[in-house]
Amino acid sequence: MSDATLHSITQDPDDFAVQIADSIESFIVATTEVAKGDEPDSAVPFLLLEVSQLLLAGGRLGAHEDIVPDERYEPDAGPDMDVDDLRERFAVMLEPVDVFSEVFDPYEPRKAPVPARISDNLADIVLDLRHGLAHYRSGRTSEALWWWQFSYFTNWGPTASATLRALQSLVAHVRLDQPLAELDGLDTDEDLTEDDLAEEAGRVMAAELGGLGRRKV
């Protein structure tokens, strides 16, 4: 299925696959536009909106019965598109607030938080979604839905959920006029012990928010 037919008027807009594909393509397009940096002051609130909407599609995939692809083995979807440029653009744009603390599995007892980056997460999410979109555009609808559902459970769903929590926290800090504490150097490239990570849990790397949101008059 080509780009020209992705939104063909012959498709039923109420069809589950069409709605999921529309939501996913909308997220990719919107996120790519934000990464251009034309409106950096509104980037965080806009990303909060886009990730929230994407997770609605993810919730629908998660609640859906197991999707079984037509073929036993996954057909070749072609090479994955490079997302390094997207990752780097977000890293520059979000530099003061890019790193946050994340717990991978909230049901695993005494699991220490780990540092993560919003920029890495957004790029990884787009990479997963594009892979399924390649199947969808080639007419392999069941394969696309299977991939989106499977990767929602295993990768982009947890990643988007963690990113949403970080973005919501950032917006809340700004709107409630609550300055962020410094993270004292916590970074994703450091080999920190569990004690170090636990001590830094719940704090976001930032000295100030700059123009990321509304200031109190």
Full pLDDT tens readout for the chain, 217 residues: 334 334 443 456 569 999 999 999 999 999 999 999 888 888 999 999 999 999 999 999 999 999 988 777 777 777 677 899 999 999 999 988 999 988 878 888 777 788 899 999 999 999 999 999 999 999 999 999 999 999 999 999 999 999 999 999 999 888 887 777 654 445 555 554 444 443 443 333 333 334 444 333 3
The residues facing 100 across adjacent strands are: 116
At 192, the amino acid letter reads L
- Assess contact for 126 and 28: CB atoms under 8 A: yes
CA dihedral 26, 28, 32, 35 (to 10 degrees): 100
Q: How far is CA 33 from CA 3, 39, 46, 76, in A?
A: 18, 9, 11, 28
d(CA 55, CA 74): 25
pLDDT value at residue 189: 54
Q: How far is CA 140 from CA 31, 74, 78, 115, 212, in A?
A: 25, 10, 13, 37, 41
Whole-model pTM: value is 0.76
d(CA 25, CA 41): 24
How does pLDDT run across 92-115, given as a tens digit for each residue? 999 889 999 888 788 887 777 888
pLDDT value at residue 123: 96
